[in-house]
Each structure stands twice: as C-alpha cells, then as structure tokens.
C-alpha cells in the first residue's frame, strides 16, 4: 500500500469508529437513559475485533462455527447494537430461518430502551439476532463465555475428523471493572485456566471508573498478576485507540495454544469539554445536547447531525467482516456437505443438536422400576435414568459442583470419560466448588446447543440462582439437578436443609421445577425434561430412599407430564378430602389415604411433581384433578408453605415448614415438624368436619 492508501485507510477506520461512538451518544441522549461512556471508549476495540478478526457472517448469524462475541458489560449495549446495524446482521426467527430484514435497523437504535425495540437496555438473547447471550448482571457474560468455549472444545472433539475440522471457533468477551469485581468471573476464570481453554479471549476495559467514581475507592488489586496466577496468558494495550497494538494483542491470542488470554486495554472517556474529563457522571447518564455537539466537533463530525451513518461505513464493514464471514461460512457449509457423505451419523447428530432435536430411540432404554416398599432414593433413580438417556444422546453432558458422588450425576458407561484439557471429549464435568460459575457455564454450553446439566444440593441453589434466572430469561433448556431436597438431610442440620428454596425456584418465571415422588416419577420427569427446547428445569431429588409405588394398585406415573395427577382415589371418584403433595411426602399421603379408607373417609391423593406444568393444563383437566366442589384440602410438603394456598384454598390445611430445620435423625425431624401419617389424617378429618 502507498502512503496515500494507508492514510485513506486510517481515515476510513476512524470514520467507522466515530460512527459507532456517535450512534451510542445519540441513542442514549434520545432515550434520556443509558451509558454512553464505555461505548465511546471501547469503539476502537470492537471495531478492530469485528473488522479484522471475528469469524462471523452477518448474512447467517447462527452459522454453527462462527466465533462468539459476548458483551459482558451489558450496560454498554449501544456498542453492540451499533455493530449489528453497521454490519447489517440479518434477523433469524425461532425456526432458525434467516429473514430478509436486518436484526437492528437504524430506527431500532433510535428507539433504544423503548418498549418493543430490538435495542433494549441490556443485550437480550432470542430478542435480537446476533446477541449470543443475555448480559446485564456484571460478570455473567464472562462466566457464560467459558461455557461457550467448553462447548466448542467438546464439539470439536466429538464431531471433528481428519480433513473435517468442523468446530474450532473462538470466543471473545469484553468486560469492565465491575465484571472483574464480581466473584463469578473469578470462579469462571479459575476453571477456564485449569481447562486450558485457548479458544477463549477476555478483553478487560481498564478505564478505572464505576458508578460511584474512581475504582480506587474499592478496587486496587493487580488484575494482570491475578490472572497470571490463575494460569492465563496476559497482554496489555496501553491505549484503546491504538489499532495496531490491538491487532497485535488479538494475534497474540490466536497464537496462544495452551491457555486462555486476557487482553487488558487501558481506556479513558474523553468528551468535547474539559468539564467532562471527570467521567464518573457520564458513565451512567446521557451527555447532554451541548456536550454532544462539542464532542462531535472534536471528532470532525457534523455537529447537528443525529444518527448519521455515511454510506462508506456500511460499505467498509461489508468489504471486511461481511466478505470474510461469507467466505468462511460458504466453505464450512461445503465441507459439511462432504462430511454428511463421509460421516452420515455424526452429521445427523450435528444437525439434530443444532435444532435441539433428539435422536431416534433416545428413550428406548428407559424401563419402569418394580414396586418396592423399601424403594430407592430419588437421586439414585435419577442417576440410572440419566445414564440410560445419555447412552442414546451423545451431546447430553454435564457434572456437578464437586458433588457428583452425592448427586449421582456421573455418567458411568465406559466411553463417557472426564472432560479435561487433555480429554476435551469427556462427558463428565468437574466444576469444582463453584455453583454460581457452574450454572453460568451451563448457560454458555446451552446457547452453543449441547444439552448440559449441572448438579448440587438444593440448599446451594442460592449460590446458583442468578444464572438459573438467566436460563429462564433466555428460554434455554438447561437441566439443574438438585438433591438433598428437604429436612430429610437430617443430621447435617439447618444450614443444609432447604426450606424456602422450592418456593424460591417456583417464583422464577419460565423455570419448571419437578419434585418426583418415587423412582417411576423420576423416569417420567426425565422423559419430560429431555423433550423441552426452551424451558430450563430444576429437578429436585431426595437423598433418602422413597417407596416405589405399586402402579398396578395406583395410577401410572405418566401423569407426571401434566404436572399433577390423581394417584389414588376413592371408589367412584367422589372424594370427601383431597390430599396433595410432592416428592417424598406423596408416600406419606398414601399412608394417610389407606388409613382414612379404613375409617370410611373418602380421600383422593394427588401427586403434584410440577406446579408449572399443571398450571399449563386446561381448566377442564385441572378441575378434574382438583374438583372445585371439594373444599376439604390438605397440602403436604417438607418446605415453606408459601404458594400452597393456590391449591388448598385459603381455608385448606398445609403441613409444611414454618421455621428452619434442626440437626437430628430424619425420623425425629419428621415427628417434630408433623410429617407423619397421623398428622395428615388428623388434618384431613378436621378439613372434612369443617366443610360439612
């Protein structure tokens, strides 16, 4: 290139960067809400990454081997919306069809943070095409990106064959000081280094500003030394505006094969007027019209133009990321056609996985458990079912937060293996004592289209809750297996006995909770779970053994699919009282039912493993299970009573936990807190008498 060509190129680069900046300024100002500072400061970084490195096809934003980009500092969302618009990324519908229209039109940016805009305040997965994950809570994007990198490694190991390198994508995540402060990022960074995820690159915007002011108020650690201690490759760019240094840093990442990379980028937010050099104010609020005019003048931009995008900017993005992405995508699809001929079964698996479909015969190894009064623990039954399914669904992978032996979530068949840096094809994951990061990582794995599960004790769902909430918000089918589900933990005491956790999980919109009553309900719960495409599930299981009910005497467990069903009924089906329960307390209600029957009281036992699924049924079905005419009702659950009145009615009786538990053997705890057949019988009789 001649000196003139280089000069023209630099001018065009700067024009593109300033377009990103001014779109961000104008959007925040028009909304009178948002964060303009970070998008302005980091515009050169995202420009360099997308234009020169990112393997992404704007015409096909769900191409399976695309590089993933995560904006972990989601408050800087205008940075991403500007890129989606300038690259003319196409919209994709829920059927995975690429549409003719753009994902983000200029009018969407003009409607930033407004109702139904494709540019909400923080990036939302499934709402705007080109957004790889929902980010908002700081640190979540970083932890989720680890899951994306893990999924990429696993898919590469499972699908790639000689001459067919189908999955080798990289994952980039931009973060800020807040992300680095949040503990979940540290958990995830530690695991990423242990697994040597060299396909993972984090970019840290070291601008030393948070909402309250300079980070020196709270954050004085040496981030570089911290990450070197984890085992990351760390490089630094001293000026966010230096495209050559940025390019060198990204090349360093691409040439590092044995560890993840952290690029620390020093930036500062400078505006047109000296008064704005104190950046804390503008970090989280609009600049104001006068300040925007001065800033645009400083950029050499038309001061009175709003939402200006020169045609040359569109063309420049089309010529670089557009052309590169299209060529890479076309070559990949051509290779995949050859792959289908050479490895048809694997190709079919890849296609099914991408569409969240199940292989034919996935449930053919599921068998009913025989009736057994001694029974089997919910966790043990689940472990058997999980292994039966995983043998048929190769991309069902997961592990536990250091609790696989206790949660029975280890895949035990010979070829399963352990996922590690040396064995990226292993299907058993060791997340360590990191419940929060584990759950965020599961989200990243799920949006990459493998089917992940993660396990722990129900009490520790508190540590996982922020990521579980995001699973539901993103509508992705992550499987959370929680065992040790009640005061049944016994001697471990109240710190390990979940009380409020069931109702807490039930409060999350879109999350399905399932608490099966015996081994056969566990089978049916897994049958439901595997067929879900957009709903995460919390599967709640016991540590202690549960009687396996005789299904020739009581109703089939297939009713689990409808959330609740009549398990045992009075002769003729006209009960005096309804006994409702979930999990281990269903057997308690069966005992009470049999006792009431001998005393001439007509009872109906309703097993309610999933309130959410039951509430989705028709009114006719719900009334057939819980007849409105039967007002005598008893709910039984070893958990907080909140929420039960929707089924028992305001005058119904609830046998539940109103305090924390205690450290004692299970039988003593059941007696202390009223979980005995006699207590349920007494409550039922009182209800019948009250409603005569």
Q: Are residues 224 and 101 in the same domain?
A: yes
Q: Are residues 493 and 574 in the same domain?
A: no
pLDDT in tens, 95-154: 778 888 999 999 999 999 999 999 999 999 999 999 999 999 999 999 999 999 999 999
Q: Are 44 and 243 in contact (CB under 8 A)?
A: yes
pLDDT confidence tier of residue 276, bands split at 50, 70 and 90: very low
pLDDT confidence tier of residue 373, bands split at 50, 70 and 90: very high
**Within a domain: 346:** no
Lowest mean pLDDT among 3-17, 95-109, 251-265: 3-17
Question: 135: burial class by Cβ within 10 Å (0-12, 13-18, 19+)?
Answer: buried
Q: Are residues 265 and 388 in the same domain?
A: no
Q: Are residues 258 and 222 in the same domain?
A: yes
**44: enclosing H helix or E strand:** helix 37-52
Range of the domain at 685: 562-690
**Within a domain: 140:** yes
Q: Which among 299, 274, 275, 177 has a CA at the least distance from the CA of 226? A: 177
**Within a domain: 338:** no
Burial 221-253 (b: 16+ CB within 10 A, else e): eeebeebeebbbbbbebeebebbebbbebbeeb
Q: Are residues 283 and 391 in the same domain?
A: no
Q: How far is CA 663 from the centre of its chain?
A: 34
**Within a domain: 590:** yes
Strand, coil or helix: 179:
helix
**Within a domain: 580:** yes
Tell me how far CA of residue 365 lies from CA of 118, 260, 444, 524, 526, in angstroms.
44, 40, 29, 13, 12
Q: Which residue has the tokens 């089918």?
A: 477
Residue 208, pLDDT > 90, answer: no
pLDDT in tens, 410-439: 999 999 999 999 999 999 999 999 999 999
Residue 575, pLDDT > 90, answer: yes
**Within a domain: 270:** yes
**Looking at 435, 521, 524, 612, which residue is catalytic?**
435
pLDDT in tens, 278-294: 343 345 678 899 999 99
Query: Catalytic site residue 187?
Result: no
Residue 190, pLDDT > 60, answer: yes
Q: Are residues 248 and 103 in the same domain?
A: yes
Average pLDDT over residues 610-635: 98
Residue 272, pLDDT > 70, answer: no
> How far is the C-alpha of 36 from the C-alpha of 485, rounded, in Å?
46
pLDDT of residue 275: 36
Q: Are residues 146 and 235 in the same domain?
A: yes
Q: Which residue has the tokens 């924390």?
A: 660
Average pLDDT over residues 85-98: 90
Residue 165, pLDDT > 70, answer: yes
**332: enclosing H helix or E strand:** helix 323-342
Average pLDDT over residues 161-172: 97
Q: Are residues 482 and 601 in the same domain?
A: no
Q: Which among 406, 493, 496, 432 has a CA at the least distance from the CA of 459? A: 496
Domain boundary among 329, 351, 382: 329
pLDDT of residue 5: 66
Domain boundary among 515, 547, 579: 547
Q: Are residues 541 and 580 in the same domain?
A: no
Phi, psi (rounded to 5 degrees) for 182: -65, 135
CATH number, domain with residue 671: 3.40.50.920
pLDDT of residue 572: 84
CB neighbourhood size of 340 (10 A):
14
Q: How many domains does the chain have?
A: 3
* Mean of per-residue pLDDT scores for the chain: 94
Q: What percent of the chain has pLDDT over 70?
A: 97
Q: Are residues 609 and 641 in the same domain?
A: yes
**Within a domain: 89:** yes
Q: Are residues 485 and 603 in the same domain?
A: no
**Within a domain: 357:** no
Domain boundary among 269, 294, 329: 329
Q: Which among 410, 411, 428, 412 has a CA at the least distance from the CA of 420? A: 428
Using H for helix, E for strand and C for coil, what is the string for 500-563?
A: CHHHHHHCCCCCEEECCCCHHHHHHHHHHHHCCCCCCEEEECCCCEEEECCCCCCCCHHHHHHC
**pTM confidence score:** 0.96
Q: Are residues 642 and 518 in the same domain?
A: no
Going by the DSSP 8-state scheme, the letter that residue 33 receives in this structure is -
CATH number, domain with residue 109: 3.40.50.970
> How far is the C-alpha of 549 from the C-alpha of 61, rounded, in Å?
50
């Amino acid at each position: 290139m001649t000196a003139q060509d280089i000069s023209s190129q630099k001018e065009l680069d700067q024009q593109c960067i300033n377009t990103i900046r001014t779109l961000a300024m104008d959007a925040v100002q028009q909304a009178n809400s948002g964060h303009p500072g970070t998008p302005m400061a980091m515009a050169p970084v995202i420009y360099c990454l997308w234009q020169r490195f990112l393997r992404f096809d704007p015409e096909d934003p769900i191409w399976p081997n695309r590089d993933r980009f995560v904006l972990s500092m989601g408050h800087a969302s205008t940075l991403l919306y500007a890129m989606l618009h300038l690259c003319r990324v196409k919209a994709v519908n829920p059927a995975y069809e690429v549409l003719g229209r753009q994902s983000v039109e200029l009018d969407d940016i003009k409607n930033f943070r407004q109702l139904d805009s494709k540019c909400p305040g923080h990036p939302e997965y499934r709402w705007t095409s080109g957004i790889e994950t929902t980010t908002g809570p700081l640190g979540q994007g970083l932890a989720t990106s680890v899951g994306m990198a893990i999924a990429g490694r696993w898919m590469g190991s499972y699908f790639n064959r000689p001459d067919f390198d189908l999955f080798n994508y990289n994952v980039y995540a931009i973060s800020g000081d807040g992300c680095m402060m949040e503990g979940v990022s540290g958990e995830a960074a530690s695991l990423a280094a242990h697994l040597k995820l060299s396909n993972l690159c984090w970019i840290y915007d070291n601008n030393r500003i948070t909402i309250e002011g300079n980070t020196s108020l709270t954050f004085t650690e040496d981030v570089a030394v911290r990450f070197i201690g984890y085992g990351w490759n760390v490089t630094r760019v001293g000026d966010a505006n230096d495209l050559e240094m940025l390019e060198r840093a990204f090349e360093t990442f691409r040439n590092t094969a044995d560890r993840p990379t952290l690029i620390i980028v020093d930036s500062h937010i400078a505006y047109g007027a000296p008064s704005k050099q104190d950046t804390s104010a503008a970090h989280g609020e609009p600049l104001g019209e006068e300040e925007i005019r001065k800033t645009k003048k400083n950029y050499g931009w038309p001061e009175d133009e709003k939402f200006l995008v020169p045609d040359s900017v569109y063309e420049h993005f089309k010529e670089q990321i557009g052309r590169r992405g299209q060529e890479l995508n076309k070559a990949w699809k051509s290779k995949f056609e050859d792959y289908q001929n050479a490895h048809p079964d694997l190709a079919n698996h890849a296609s099914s996985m991408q569409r969240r479909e199940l292989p034919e015969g996935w449930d053919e190894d599921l068998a009913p458990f025989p009736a057994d009064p001694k029974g089997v623990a919910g966790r043990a039954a689940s472990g058997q079912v999980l292994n039966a399914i995983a043998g048929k669904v190769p991309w069902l992978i997961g592990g536990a937060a250091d609790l696989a032996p206790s949660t029975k979530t280890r895949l035990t068949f010979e070829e399963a293996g352990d996922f590690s840096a040396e064995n990226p094809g292993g299907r058993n994951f060791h997340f360590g004592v990191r419940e929060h990061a584990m759950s965020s990582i599961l989200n990243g794995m799920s949006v990459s289209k493998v089917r992940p599960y993660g396990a722990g004790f129900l009490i520790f769902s508190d540590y996982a809750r922020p990521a579980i909430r995001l699973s539901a918000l993103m509508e992705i089918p992550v499987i959370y297996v929680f065992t040790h589900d009640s005061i049944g933990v016994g001697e471990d005491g109240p710190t390990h006995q979940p009380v409020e956790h069931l109702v807490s999980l039930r409060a999350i919109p879109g999350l399905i909770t399932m608490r099966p009553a015996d081994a056969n309900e566990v089978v049916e719960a897994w049958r439901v779970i595997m067929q879900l495409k957009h709903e995460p599930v919390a599967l709640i299981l016991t540590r202690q053994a549960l009687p396996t009910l005789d299904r020739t005497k009581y109703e089939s467990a297939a009713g689990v699919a409808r959330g609740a069903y009549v398990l045992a009924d009075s002769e003729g089906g006209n009960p005096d009282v309804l006994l409702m329960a979930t999990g281990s307390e269903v057997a308690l209600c069966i005992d009470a039912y049999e006792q009431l029957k001998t005393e001439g009281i007509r009872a109906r036992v309703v097993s309610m493993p999933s309130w959410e699924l039951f509430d989705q049924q028709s009114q006719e079905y719900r009334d057939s299970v819980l007849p409105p005419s039967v007002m005598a009702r008893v709910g039984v659950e070893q958990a907080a009573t909140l929420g039960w009145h929707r089924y028992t009615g305001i005058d119904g009786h609830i046998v539940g936990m109103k305090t924390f538990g205690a450290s004692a053997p299970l039988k003593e705890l059941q007696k202390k807190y009223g979980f005995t057949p006699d207590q349920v019988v007494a409550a039922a009789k009182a209800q019948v008498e009250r409603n005569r």
